[in-house]
Chain A
Amino acid sequence: DSGVTQTPKHLITATGQRVTLRCSPRSGDLSVYWYQQSLDQGLQFLIHYYNGEERAKGNILERFSAQQFPDLHSELNLSSLELGDSALYFCASSGRQANTGELFFGEGSRLTVL
């Protein structure tokens, strides 16, 4: 158990809809990272938040947005969903120990868009 919690574990929705994925980082971790992994593909970096502020952005679509709240949990919002958005979405946290930088991943949210 990494200590990172993601909900929901599975989600099935239709094209054009909007969903919210939630991530609770490990206790004390200030950084949250979001990744997308399509079927048999690598991990695509989406966005990084540190203590509530956006710190780095990857190839995140404009239809996607994220935020980190004061209690440090994070949400990834996906809107106007397309079939190609079907993927595993992972959240990772780090930062409990200064300058070690290892990421601890949740088990992911599997999104299926029909």
Chain B
Amino acid sequence: DAKTTQPPSMDCAEGRAANLPCNHSTISGNEYVYWYRQIHSQGPQYIIHGLKNNETNEMASLIITEDRKSSTLILPHATLRDTAVYYCIVRVASSASKIIFGSGTRLSIRP
């Protein structure tokens, strides 16, 4: 079973920031938070990951709460091309682990 909980769907206006929440209350100390997205039926795309500090890259920002029980993915200026299913997963960054995807959040960007 997935170790994360995400809302099934969200929407956001184009040009605004999209904030996608994820709960991972049973996260272990050595587990990272990863975010992926899947546009239509394409292969999922890695977005960002973090352990306990906030992270930012060219695609998004990841905010992890101090107790690490939840996180938020922020797409600063959403475009129509950001319409996708977003998956939040937790995992140990090692070579021997299952990587379980939950149901994700279907993000719709409205013009």
Contacts and interface: CB of A to CB of B under 8 A. Distances in A.
Contacts of A108: 41-43
Contacts, number: 70
B34 A101 contact: yes
Nearest to B103: A42
Given A99-B93, A102-B49, A90 B43 contact: yes
The B interface, classified by DSSP as helix, strand, loop or mixed, is loop
Interface of B: 32, 34, 36, 38, 41-46, 49, 87, 91-104
A49 to B, nearest CB: 10
A95 B95 contact: yes
A43 B95 contact: no
A105 B99 contact: no
Interface residues of A, number: 31
Given A45-B99, A45-B100, A101 B93 contact: yes
Contact of A2 (B43, B100, B102): B43
B96 A56 contact: yes
Contacts of A101: 32, 34, 49, 91-94
A99 B101 contact: no
A30 B94 CA distance: 12
Contact of A43 (B44, B49, B96, B97): B44
A100 B102 CA distance: 21
